[in-house]
Structure 1
């Protein structure tokens, strides 16, 4: 008697689909705030932290004419591709990294990982996804920090990648990779806090499935915690990845150490936190949406399609 073929999704597929879906939905919702944050980060003048978001919106309203709404969504394609791919790869490798750690350390299947284990899994998956998606982030930063009407401005993801390769070579795809890798600490801190809060909440509720409100609270608190500690790396990365679209030749930018010193001397400590306010407005709802979609998709997909062991 022949056995019936099994149909379903592998655990890795569930993680990837859930991560892609989460990144897609969250990015569309908060993209305008991402654009505001990026323009503040690359601005080297002295703006008050809380009022500068208004100045960016005011400039768009005055200068973009009938294209004001579309201007708020400039760079959406690389943002969608980067976030979806980044979250998808992150969740896929985060799950695989945990499996590898369990095997190396000889854990039982139901044995919980330690904070160091979660930190290691998050750092490894974050580093891999950061390297692979960095070219997309370079294009995204340059599109979000410029107007579509500027001479030499990128018109899309593909044209941006072609332009970088033509003018800067392969090396151009990896501007800002060092602060991106430093930024892995953000994801690591976030996931350690998220896993711990989620575990404590499950223990108190005595259930394996958290409510949507529980997910919102744990993801928000974890994101604020990690964001406040690691925000300066985002600003440094944006400065390294930005460019002057009107320049006819590539101008080599200062290195990361020189840039950090330059910000300190010219803008002070406040300079490292430009765009923090819209960033918090962006990342908290973005993270909440991401993890609501991720946790619900991760829970429902195996029940809809089954899983392969």
Structure 2
């Protein structure tokens, strides 16, 4: 883990703490990755909430065509951007903050220079994911509902605040944390991904003379491959969570068990992979893989570079100020 640089001798300015660096790096990564691929997130959401038909070739193209033609043009592809932007930036900022501090705590209990084990990375990721999910779940409920319906729908939310108010008024606090149970199951996704990613980073770092020597290409292939492996293992929680968070969830389902039973009974096994493997290669690649892999790559490249260069930039600016 790259730590913030301590204040240099003669530099009386403050310095960035490791926790602040982790938070700023995660926040920046969340913002940039969200802005990059939001339309594909809308597409994945629509695929996951489709309970009327099985996946067919061309579903992704049909959804995009419908959104652009009937819901307000290209602008409609960015419906729900603000809750998605807030959820991603706040979520990644909190996640890396919790994750970094948990790793530090574990590292202090080990011998100097000894790497953490895969189990320790996995545990830190699980705890960080649970804490982050508890903080951000209401944002994801509103985001799911805003992506579900176009802005021209008579019952569509006009804003994120309006959406939260409606959920609270109609379903109370329980509604704001709808889908949290399957989300906790999905924490395993991040844990698996980070366990794989951290091991790859340590091994690659040992080969090139330290993690500070890793290039952006290293981060690209490590983050992409770890995301693919983790996604194949843990994806089914995502469509289940989306269905528990949609507008009419309280009318359609009695709880998590009912969602699982009805999804299996009415749509079969592949329904749990809608938006990932719709049964056809084209709709497997477009909605999820081409959405998730760039998102993950952008997130990790921005995070690692911000974490590395932000402390150096801060100290450089203080040094220049002292020289002036």
| TM-score interval, normalised by the smaller of the two chains | over 0.9
Deviation at 1:270, TM superposition (A): 1.2
Please tell me whether residue 143 in structure 1 is matched to residue 146 in structure 2: yes
**CA distance in structure 1 between the partners assigned to 2:21 and 2:113 by the alignment:** 20
Deviation at 1:207, TM superposition (A): 3.2
Query: Which 10-residue stretch deviates more, 46-55 or 147-156?
Result: 46-55
Deviation at 1:77, TM superposition (A): 0.1
Matches within 5 A, 1:92-241: 92-103=97-108, 106-209=109-212, 210-241=214-245
Matches within 5 A, 1:268-279: 268-276=268-276, 277=284, 278-279=287-288
CA-atom RMSD, angstroms?
1.7
Deviation at 1:306, TM superposition (A): 3.6
Matches within 5 A, 1:258-273: 258-273=258-273
**CA distance in structure 1 between the partners assigned to 2:202 and 2:79 by the alignment:** 39
- Aligned residues of 1:23 and 1:83 also touching (Cα < 8 A): yes
**CA distance in structure 1 between the partners assigned to 2:244 and 2:56 by the alignment:** 21
- Aligned residues of 1:20 and 1:84 also touching (Cα < 8 A): yes
Closer, same or farther: CA 144–131 of 1 in aligned 2, 3 Å: same
1:286 corresponds to: 295
Aligned residues: 297
> Which residue of the other structure, out of 63, 67, 70, is the alignment partner of 1:60?
67
> Which residue of the other structure, out of 11, 14, 32, is the alignment partner of 2:21?
14
**1:110-130 deviations in Å (ceiling 9; x for gaps):** 221000100010000000000
In the alignment, structure 1 segments of 5+ residues that lack a partner are none
2:50 corresponds to: 43
**CA distance in structure 1 between the partners assigned to 2:206 and 2:112 by the alignment:** 19
**CA distance in structure 2 between the partners assigned to 1:87 and 1:229 by the alignment:** 21
**1:186-237 deviations in Å (ceiling 9; x for gaps):** 0000000000111121122223221101100000000000011111100000
Deviation at 1:251, TM superposition (A): 3.4
- Aligned residues of 1:176 and 1:240 also touching (Cα < 8 A): yes
In the alignment, structure 2 segments of 5+ residues that lack a partner are 1-9, 277-283, 317-324
2:3 corresponds to: none
- Aligned residues of 2:204 and 2:211 also touching (Cα < 8 A): no
Deviation at 1:6, TM superposition (A): 4.1
- Aligned residues of 1:41 and 1:274 also touching (Cα < 8 A): yes
Please tell me whether residue 83 in structure 1 is matched to residue 92 in structure 2: no
- Aligned residues of 2:189 and 2:230 also touching (Cα < 8 A): yes
- Aligned residues of 2:201 and 2:211 also touching (Cα < 8 A): no
- Aligned residues of 1:61 and 1:68 also touching (Cα < 8 A): yes
1:33 corresponds to: 40
- Aligned residues of 2:68 and 2:77 also touching (Cα < 8 A): no
Closer, same or farther: CA 7–275 of 1 in aligned 2, 3 Å: same
- Aligned residues of 2:145 and 2:246 also touching (Cα < 8 A): yes
- Aligned residues of 2:54 and 2:267 also touching (Cα < 8 A): no
Deviation at 1:61, TM superposition (A): 3.0
- Aligned residues of 2:79 and 2:146 also touching (Cα < 8 A): yes
